[in-house]
Chain A
Amino acid sequence: MTATEAPPAPPTPPTPTVTEAAVRKVPRRKRLIPYWLLLPGILWLLVFFALPMVYQASTSVQTGSLEEGFEVTWHFATYWDAIQEYYPQFVRSLLYAGTATVLCLLLGYPLAYLIAFKAGRWRNLLLVLVIAPFFTSFLIRTLAWKTILADDGTVVGALDALRVLDVTSWLGWTADDRVLATPMAVVCGLTYNFLPFMILPLYTSLERIDGRLHEAAGDLYARPATTFRKVTVPLSMPGIVSGTLLTFIPASGDYVNAELLGSTDTKMVGSVIQSQFLRVLDYPTAAALSFILMAVVLVVVTVYIRRSGTEDLV
C-alpha cells in the first residue's frame, strides 16, 4: 500500500479563515481509513499468530526439562536432530497430503463442474450435500471409515474379488488383504475429509465463468475438449490453486487420519509433533518440528504457485 500524496490544493484562493491544516485534514483521515479497517485483523494476527510464533520460535532453541524449566540456549542443533530423526515422517506427510490433494482434484473437479453448469435447480441441494458431512465431528467422520473399510466388509470384499488388492499390496499401499491400517486407508481418509475444501473454491470459480465464453469457443470451431482445456480450466485456475492449497496445507499437518486409520508405519509428522509436545514433553523438538513443517509447506506451496503461473492470484 503506497501512501498517496495529498492532492494539490484547490485553485481557488484560500479565504483567510481556512488554515492549511484544515485543508489537509480531510485527505489524511481518508488515508487512514484502510488502516482502521485493517486494525481488527492485524490485532488478531498479532495476538493469535505473531506472538505464538515468536513464543514457539523461542521454545525451539531452548534446552531443559519440565522440572528444571527451559532456557534459551540458542541450541539450533535441535532442528538438525529433528530432521535426521523424523525425515521419514516428513516425506510421508508430503506424499500422503499430495496424493490426497490430487485425488480431491480428480474427484472434486467433475462434481464442481456439474454443480456449476449442469445441476440447474438441484444446485443448492447438491451444495448442501457437499457441506452436510461437516455437521458431524471430524473424529466421527474418520471413525466411520473404519466401518466402511472393515476387513470383512463389502468394500474390502469387492476389492479383493476384483483383484484390486493384489495390485495395491504389490504397490505397498495395502497389506494382507486388508485396507485398514495401511497407507491406502490414510490417504482415503484424508481425501474424504478435505474434499469439500477442494469442491467449494472450484465451484465458486467455475460458477463465475460466463457461459457465453463456451458458446464463443464453439463458434470458433473449438471442440468441447478444447474448450475445456483452453477456456474452462484456465478460467478456473484460481479455484484450482486455492482448492489445492486449502487441501494440501491442512492435510500435511493432519494426524487424526494417520492415527485412527493407519498403523505404525503410516504416522505423519503431525503425530510426531503431538507426541513430542504431550507425551515426551520435549517442547523444543516439538516446536522445531512445527517450524520445519511450516518451512517445508511454504517452500512447496511457493514453488507450486510459481509453476502454476498464478502468483498474482494468491
Chain B
Amino acid sequence: MELYEPDRLSAAQIAATRRSLSNGRGALSRRSLLRATGAGALTIGGVAGLGACGIPPAKRESGGPASTDHSAKEKRVVFSNWTEYMDVSEDEKSYPTLEAFTKRTGIQVKYTADINDNVEFFGKIQPQLAAGQDTGRDLICVTDWLAARIIRLGWAQKLDPANLPHAFANLSQQFRSPDWDPGRAYTYPWTGIPSVIAYNTKATKGRKIESVSQLLDDPDLKGRVSFLSEMRDSIGLTLLDMGKDPASFSDDDFDGAVARIQKAVDKKQIRRFTGNDYTADLSKGDIAACIAWAGDIVQLQADNPDIQFAIPESGYMISSDNLLVPAKARHKTNAEKLIDHYYELPMAAQLAAYINYVCPVEGVGAELAKIDKSMASNPLILPDAEMASKSHAFRSLSGEEETAYEEKFAKLIGA
C-alpha cells in the first residue's frame, strides 16, 4: 500500500486541484474579459482622442458673468453655506433669521450647508463656472483667498449697492477694503476668522504659550504642537513672528517662513498640520498648543476651562468668509437682499451669538448684549480697538504665485 505523502502531490493531483479551484468557469474568465475591455478602451481612446482633449482657459473674457435676473418673477434664492454656519431654532428644525427674511420679503430661501472645504467646493463648482453655466446657486460663502480667485477668474457678479443699504452702512472698518476686492464691489463678509494661538493649560502644566516662536522652538512642547494646513494662516503667523508683514512680503520672505517651519518639522516639534480636527486633540491634551481658529476656541472654552488662547505680541492673522453671487446665477437681486438682511443689527447679533465668529457688522454690540452679555465682551467675537489693531491680512496672490506657494507649502506638510 502506498503511504500518504503529504509533501508530494502528483502532477495529476495538482491539475485536479487547479481545476477544482477554477470552478469550471473557463470560457468567460475575468482575465479574458479584462483583456477585451482594455483593448476596447485603448481603441476608443486612441492617440487622436488624447490630443483632442485639453482644458479651456478658466478666465472668461467674453459674455461676462452677468445673467438675466429672474428675481422679480421667481421669489426664491439658493444659498450654499458652510456646515454649522447658521443659527438654528431650539428644535433644530428651522433657521430663525432666514425665516425672518422670508416673512419680510416673501422670498423663499433654499438653504444648503454643502460647503465643507474650500478646495473641494471649488473643485465642485469649477466645471460649471468654467463652461459659463449656472451652478444652481445664487449665493455662496467662501474664504477670502477663494473669493479672490473667483473674482480674478471673472466668475463673480458685481453687486448693486442700491440693494445693499444696511450692508454699506454697517460693514465694520476692519473689513471695508481688502486688496482683492477694493470697496467690496463683489463680496460682503459673512464672518471674520482670526487665527490665534490656543493651548491646553493641563497639557502645558499651567504655562502660558504666547508666541509662534515658542510653538516652533519650546522643547517642552516637542511633538505636541499642531499648525493649520491652511497656508495663509500658518505662514502668515510665522511671517509676523519673524517681523515681516503678511500684507507685503516677498518670495524670499515666504521661503524664509517655510524654512523656519521646516526646521520645526524636521526636529519633530510639530506633530501634524490639521484642518478643523485639531479641536478634539487640543481638548484631550494630545496637542498642547497650536494655531487655532478663534470661533473654535470660543466653543471649546464653553466645554473645557483648560483651553486658553493668546494673541501673539507680533499680531495675528484674520481672514474672512465672504458672500458672493456666482456667475450666471438666476436670482441676483434676491441674493443681494439676503446679504443686506444679515447686516441689520438684530439679525447680525442673532447670527453672531450662535456661530461665535467675529461679526463684521459695526455697532452690533448693544444688540448682542441683549442676547448674551459675556459674548458682547468677548474679543474673539467683537474685537476691541486694541485687538483690531493687531490684525493682519494675507496679501492677495496672482495665479502663478498661488500655485508656486501652495506647492512649497504642500511639500512642507508632506504632500
Contacts and interface: CB of A to CB of B under 8 A. Distances in A.
Indicate, yes or no, whether A interacts with B: yes
Interface string A287-314: 0000000000000000000000011111
B407 A282 contact: yes
Contact of A42 (B37, B54, B413, B415): B37
Interface string B24-39: 0001111110001100
A150 B265 contact: no
Interface in B195-220: none
B399 A67 contact: yes
B59 interface: yes
A230 B6 CA distance: 7
Contact of A67 (B37, B40, B153, B281): B153
A59 B53 contact: yes
A313 B403 CA distance: 46
Given A69-B57, A278-B120, A278-B123, A50 B44 contact: yes
Interface stretch (A14-22, A117-125, A190-198, A261-269): A261-269
B41 A283 contact: no
Interface stretch (B15-23, B159-167, B326-334, B382-390): B15-23
Contact of B53 (A54, A262, A265): A54
Contacts of B346: none
B286 A151 contact: yes
Interface stretch (A129-137, A158-166, A220-228): A220-228
Contacts of B272: 181, 262-264
Nearest to B57: A69
> Lowest 9 CB-CB distances: which A-B pairs, in order?
A69-B57, A58-B53, A264-B414, A267-B414, A271-B415, A50-B41, A278-B119, A54-B45, A220-B4
Contacts of A53: 41, 45
Per DSSP, chain B at the interface is helix
B119 A70 contact: no
Contacts of B280: 143, 146
A277 B53 CA distance: 18
Contact of B17 (A69, A146, A180, A234): A234
B268 interface: yes
A71 B57 CA distance: 9
Nearest to B50: A58
Nearest to B120: A278
- Sort chain A's interface into a size bin: 35 or more
A310 B30 CA distance: 13
B51 interface: yes
Given A61-B50, A312-B22, 9 more contacts: A1-B27, A46-B40, A46-B41, A54-B49, A59-B53, A68-B59, A151-B286, A282-B403, A313-B22
A230 B4 CA distance: 12
Nearest to B123: A278
B277 interface: yes
Contacts of A282: 403, 407
B100 interface: no
B410 interface: yes
Nearest to B26: A312
A64 B40 contact: no
A150 B284 contact: yes
A57 interface: yes
A237 interface: yes
A235 B21 contact: yes
Contacts of B51: 58, 72
B50 A72 contact: yes
Contacts of A59: 53, 55
B204 to A, nearest CB: 14
A146 B281 CA distance: 8
Interface string A98-134: 0000000000000000000000000000000000000
B271 interface: yes
